[in-house]
């Protein structure tokens, strides 16, 4: 019976002993939670298990992938999935090296020092853009739409970086999409105040009102201006772009921002005893 899966976890391995005979049947190797820091030890796994499909190296302290690209392809010709979760990788060059595995589709890269300074969005998008053949990252499928978004994000991320510091992948993506301008920053926060016209007894007064206050609080603000007690005050809001007439502001506890008040709109004040 041939060996297809091997679990060598939690053994404090610092080195790998390479036997004289290869195991061509092994497809899955879990060698997590050891202390394999040097790539010279990891490369032995490729020599020992040339048919390896899945390599789980999580919670080791691998600090770099030090291997020429063509040699990587020969060492792991059938590798489809690799987990480098909580490894010690600190360079984008190490991520680029993963492209040398000819059949690689799935990568796990959570908790590595390289990605710590980046936001969650930057981590995922920058990695996806650098690994064009990967279809699953950190357990989540990379859709065609997400890949395009990530590659466009990558271009914009590096657009103002000096040419000598721009990664090679940037130039590949420029060929694909062209040079993209940075996205405009749009402030989607609700407006906090508005300049409105207050109409009362054929008089018009322009004033700034806070939109986080309630109708009752607005009445207090208008009390001195219109010379009416708040209990005797009727307010109507008129949107200068709306096709219909004024809307009565009848509920005292309603917040002004819920009316959609903008600069240039009008507030009409009438007396209940008019």
CATH of the domain at 92: 3.80.10.10
Question: Is there a domain that residue 242 lies in?
Answer: yes
Question: 133-149 pLDDT, tens per residue?
Answer: 999 999 999 999 999 99
- What is the count of structural domains for the chain? 2
128 and 198 within one domain: no
Residue 149 lies in a domain: no
Whether 131 and 206 map to the same domain: the answer is no
The one-digit pLDDT tens for each residue of the chain (274 residues) are 578 888 888 888 888 887 778 888 999 999 998 988 999 999 999 999 999 999 999 998 899 999 888 899 999 999 999 999 999 999 999 999 999 999 999 999 999 999 999 999 999 999 999 999 999 999 999 999 999 999 999 999 998 888 888 999 999 999 998 887 766 555 656 678 999 999 999 899 999 999 999 999 999 999 999 999 999 999 999 887 766 778 899 899 998 888 888 888 999 999 987 5
Per-residue 3-state assignment (H helix, E strand, C coil) for the chain: CCCCEEECCCCCCCCCCCCCCCCCCCCEEECCCCCCCCHHHHHHHHHHCCCCCEEECCCCCCCCCCCCHHHHHHHCCCCCEEECCCCCCCCHHHHHHHHHCCCCCEEECCCCHHHCCCCHHHHHHHHHHHCCCCCEECCEECCHHHHHHHHHHHHHHHCCCCHHHCCHHHHHHHHHHCCCCCCCCCCCCCCCEEEEEEEECCEEEEEEEECCCEHHHHHHHHHHHHCCCHHHEEEEEECCCCCCCCEECCCCCCEHHHHCCCCCCEEEEEECCC
| Full domain range(s) for residue 235 | 193-271
Residues 232 and 119 in one domain: no
37 and 112 share a domain?
A: yes
pTM for the model? 0.65
């Amino acid at each position: 019976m041939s060996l297809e899966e091997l679990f060598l976890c939690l053994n404090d391995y610092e080195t790998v002993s390479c036997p004289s005979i290869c195991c061509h049947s092994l497809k899955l190797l879990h060698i997590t939670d050891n202390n394999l820091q040097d790539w010279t030890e990891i490369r032995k796994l490729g020599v020992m298990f040339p048919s390896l499909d899945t390599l789980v190296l999580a919670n080791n302290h691998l600090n770099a992938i030090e291997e020429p690209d063509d040699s990587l392809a020969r060492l792991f010709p059938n590798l489809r999935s690799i987990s480098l979760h909580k490894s010690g990788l600190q360079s984008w060059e190490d991520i680029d090296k993963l492209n040398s595995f000819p059949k690689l589709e799935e990568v796990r890269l959570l908790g590595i020092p390289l990605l710590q300074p980046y936001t969650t969005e930057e981590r995922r998008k920058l990695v996806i853009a650098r690994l064009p053949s990967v279809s699953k990252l950190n357990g989540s499928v990379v859709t065609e739409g997400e890949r395009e978004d990530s590659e466009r994000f990558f271009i914009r991320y590096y657009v103002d970086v000096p040419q000598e510091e721009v990664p090679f992948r940037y130039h590949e993506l420029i060929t694909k999409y062209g040079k993209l301008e940075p996205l405009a920053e749009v402030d989607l926060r609700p407006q906090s105040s508005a300049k409105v016209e207050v109409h009362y007894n054929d008089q018009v007064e322009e004033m700034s009102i806070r939109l986080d206050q309630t109708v009752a609080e607005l009445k207090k603000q208008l009390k001195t201006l219109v010379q009416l007690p708040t209990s005797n005050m009727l307010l109507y809001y008129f949107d200068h772009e709306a096709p219909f007439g004024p809307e009565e502001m009848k509920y005292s506890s309603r917040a002004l921002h819920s009316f959609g008040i903008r600069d240039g709109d009008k507030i009409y004040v009438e007396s209940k005893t008019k």
